[in-house]
Every structure is written in structure tokens, then in C-alpha cells.
Chains A and B, each alone.
Chain A
């Protein structure tokens, strides 16, 4: 999937594109699923082609309905000594909800190479 600098109308999504995107999204697809999804994704993207006809030069993009600015709170600790016990309890609940944990940490299989 090489970036194509001046492509405004990309070609139809291919089976290879879908396989690549599935890998990026951490989804394993069977051959049968790949065929089905390729056709369905192409249908949706074909429908999106109706906006190709619009003259969008000079139109600013909208990413959000509100003019967002960062929201700051007062620079005071919300977890002081008095709330420490509650905070600890909350962390314990979060850890308890995980599929695997060890010593208050999320436990996962090896990330790089052999397990220590």
C-alpha cells in the first residue's frame, strides 16, 4: 500500500488491501471472509464516490461539531492522603477486571522474543 501522492480517486479496494488492513487492525480473516469483506467494503467506498463530484477546494475540514479547546482543571491534587485508600481500591477494581494480572499490573504474553 504505497502512498500515491496525487490520487484523488483511488482504485477499487482489493483483496490484498483488505488483508493488509486486517493485519493492521489485528484481525485474522479466513479466505472466505476476505472475499466477503472485500466486496462489502468496496460497495461502501463506491457509495462514497458520490462526493468526488463536489468542488471541495478551499473548504475547511470539520473534525468536530464544537470549537474545541483544551479543558484544564485547577492544579490541585484530587487524590490526597485522605482519598488514597479509595484510589487504591479503584486501582484494585480495575486490575481485578483484567483477564490476567500480577502484582497490580496487567499481565500479557511475551512482547519481544523469549519470555524472561
Chain B
């Protein structure tokens, strides 16, 4: 059942929030052993919260647009008094003293937070294998990764544990797992959703966004959490966009460009795209054309350099952001004779290998003598990408690409080869560097029967037309994504 109809049934008094939450807790009890989507299921708090929603309905009040709908949160969003781990040992035992803004907005909308989902440590990864608490398994095939870093949030929605979840996307961490698990995942415009209470990875790239089993539910959740927040100085001063109201407007007359360089179809583009993924992309483009869009090839040449720039910029920002985990103020402390040794002993024991790699990479890229060669150049490449997108959007309203080069890969396949793992993000990174919105929509399956995602990209604040195209693709693909389990 969709989040929209669940909320509708609670608002009309047809169903109790408690019955909905109990149903989902039962699904979790049934399937979580095979999937490991959650780091923590907050069953008691969720039931208590559901009862409060039911009280509001009983008293004739407005319980909110997400009344009684379970929502799972990626475990890097602060929840007051509830452990928030970021998939890391270094936050062992830490309970945030405040709620993230998205948590407050969900609460105001009547949603029921059902738990905290597993993730690559500090959101660094593309497979959720970098969690200190063990991997998450893809509900479509438990021998495969769910993608990452928001793999727990994607898997929880795909497995039917919750109709909605939130993830965070720094280089594709919402869209890529959405594609690999066969659900809808949205990275909004940078600044559209408050980052207050989101534990920072790379502050100029991080953005919170929704997962759902259909486009309308993703729109519902994004509308609920978006909008200006004075507590985040990078929050854009606009209110949440109207998305549900425009979903049925179609794509008649919209100009859509298929990005050659990141779909394996151009002479100068990247390689490594699976033929079945390319075939689904071509069908998606045809579906948009059949619905009245003007679809053509588009060239955004500098997107091929996005990966290189990203894997300097994101580690550089991370090395600075993660300096705060020093054993002084929160989480783990490994004692030592003096403070510097304590800092090092704590960080050595608390961080996993991928986090250490990125901290060292960032520290190196920012160090004297290397700053200009790596960080400086990457920032200039970022400018080229912004300019190339601006040029493309003079001719097109939306752009299209695969979300990921392949379907879900086997667990363990890429975990020892960081560069191979990073290549998963080639299609998603450019939107983060530019601060633009992009979303992944399930569009058929590959030769292995696993879901393929198509990425719809839009210029800043272009969410309404992006969602219109996503709705058309969803209809062409045969309706909302099914439940795997």
C-alpha cells in the first residue's frame, strides 16, 4: 500500500496508525534477519507515537499529511536521545541531544519514525559493505549489495519494511541504492532540505532526500521535509515545491537530452556501461518521446571528469569534517598517556578502512605543495561541470542517464578495490558537484532479472518537471515498484 493511501486511511479514520505500524513491525520481524536494513528498530517509540496520532484523529484534529506513515531514517540523522551511529564504532554509545530538522518536520507531519537504517560508515561507500555493523543485503537478491551509502534505507523500502525512508546523497548515495534495489530515490537541489542534524561528510555536496516505492510517495515525503530552515546557513530561502500537484501534467513539449558522456553512447564518453542498462535507458528515452517530450542526444563533456574531481573534493571536506571525532566530546574514547595519543588511539580504533582512506586522501590533497595540483584543480573542474550543465540547460529542460553503470553486483566483489567501487558513482556525481536535483526511477530489469534505474537530472529547483518526467517513466515501466519479499 502506498504512503499516500496509508496517510489517507488514517486521516479519514478508516485505519488506525497503530495497526499500520504493527503491520510494518511484523514485516521487519519477518524479514530483517535476511536483509539487515536497520541498525536500530524503535518499535516501542513508534507504537507510542502511533497512538498519539490516533488520539489526534479521535479528537477531530488534523494529524498531518503523513499521518501514521512509518518512515525510516538513515543512521546519520540526529534523533534526540536515540543512538545515531553513522555506521561507525567511533560514535559508540552517543545519543544526540537534539533532533535533526527533518525529524522535527516528519513529526509535525504526523509521520512515525520506525528506526535507523544501516549505511556505509559516514556515508563513504557504494555498497553498504563499509558499515561497522555488517553489510545490508539486497532484498531483490540477497547475494547482491543494495548499493550505498544509504543501502539500509533503500533496502528497507524495497523489502516492504517501511513505505518511506530518508537517505543522504553526497555523490549518489540515494540514487544508486535506489536503482540497485528497484525503488525511487531523489537527491533534491542542494539546500532544498535542511542539513541541520545531518552528520556532515562533505558539506558542499551532502543533501537529504526521500526513498519510496513510487514517484508520488517520494513527492509526498520531499514536500514534507523541504523548505527553508534558519538553522542551516546553506538552506535556500524558498518554500517546499508543489510536486504532488504537478505529477499528472505529463511531459508534452519538454525537451529532454540523453547525456552521451555518461551513458556509454558518445565517442568521448566513459566506458563500462552494461548493455542491458543501456537498453533500458534507450527504452526510457522512447517512453518520454512517446509521451510528447522532444528527446535528443545531449553533450555535457566535463561530466567525465566528475569522478576525479569528486574523489579529491569529497575526501578533502571529509578530512576536515571528521576531525571532530577525537575522543573528547562524544562516542568512543581509547585512553592514552596524553591527549594527542588518545586522539590517535581513538580514531585508529573507531574508524574503518574506507574512512581512514578518505581522511588520508583529503589530508594529502589539502597539504602544502599538493593543494593546487589536486584540490585547486578539482575546484576548477567543478566550475567546468557547472558551466557545461548551464549550457546544456539552454537547450534542454531535463537530462537523462543511467543511474548506475550496472545492476546490483555480488557482495564482496569490489570491496578490496576502492577505485573499482568508486566507478559506480560516475553518473550521479556531476549533479552533486553542480548542486542540482536528480532522481532515480526503476525502469525494468537487466539480463540478471535485477532492477535498472534511470536517472532524471534537472537544473537547480527543477524538481517539478523532474517529477513529471519520473511519473511518465513510472507509468511506462508498469506502475510502482513491487515488494520483493
Interface residues in chain A, defined as those with a beta carbon under 8 Å from any beta carbon in chain B? 1-4, 7-10, 13, 17-18, 21-22, 24-29, 37, 40-41, 43-45, 47-52, 54, 56, 59-66, 68, 70-71, 73, 90, 93-94, 97-100, 106, 108-111
Contacts and interface: CB of A to CB of B under 8 A. Distances in A.
Contacts of B435: 64-66
Given A7-B373, A13-B364, A28 B344 contact: yes
Given A61-B379, A62-B379, A99-B333, A26 B384 contact: no
Given A28-B348, A109-B335, A110-B339, A1 B328 contact: no
Contacts of B380: 54, 56, 59-62
B interface, how many residues as a size bin? 35 or more
B93 to A, nearest CB: 8
A3 B191 contact: no
Contacts, number: 183
Nearest to B308: A48
Contacts of B111: none
Interface string B376-389: 11111111101000
Contact of B340 (A4, A26, A70): A26
B361 A44 contact: yes
20 contacts: A1-B368, A10-B370, A21-B363, A22-B356, A26-B326, A26-B344, A29-B348, A40-B418, A44-B418, A47-B419, A48-B378, A49-B308, A54-B305, A56-B380, A59-B384, A61-B380, A93-B97, A99-B333, A109-B338, A110-B339
Nearest to A18: B360
B241 interface: no
B95 A1 contact: no
A32 to B, nearest CB: 12
A26 B373 CA distance: 24
Nearest to A63: B379
Nearest to B328: A106
A88 B225 CA distance: 29
